[in-house]
Amino acid sequence: MRDEAVLRCYEDGAEKGKAVFDYQHEIDLDVNSGTFKQTVMITPKSMDSAIKNVTLDLNFNCRGYCEKDTPF
């Protein structure tokens, strides 16, 4: 799945700025082992000068028999 993620910053009800990111979410299935690998990539595309920084926190949860790994 590919899309754009737009984060908007508001101050006193007015939009102060926005940041735009390319968003890609992949789910690779291994039919021979019953496993899958899920990968999310978020790449900055543009950011208004009014926005000094952005912090994104993704949290994947496992239910049942699985493991999660954060590569960075």
Model confidence pLDDT, tens digit, residues 23-56:
999 999 888 887 788 888 999 999 998 888 888 8
One-letter amino acid for residue 57 of the chain: D
In this structure, is residue 25 part of a structural domain? yes
Domain that residue 22 falls in: 2-47
In this structure, is residue 24 part of a structural domain? yes
In this structure, is residue 30 part of a structural domain? yes
Is the pLDDT at 69 greater than 70? The verdict is no
pLDDT of amino acid 37 = 82
Measured between alpha carbons, how far is 25 from 40 in angstroms, rounded to an integer? 4
Measured between alpha carbons, how far is 45 from 29 in angstroms, rounded to an integer? 29
Confidence of residue 57 (pLDDT cuts 50, 70, 90): confident
Q: In a 3-state reduction of DSSP, which class is residue 63?
A: coil
Domain tally for the chain? 1
In this structure, is residue 71 part of a structural domain? no
Residue 53: both structure tokens together: 């920084």
Average predicted confidence (pLDDT) for the chain:
85
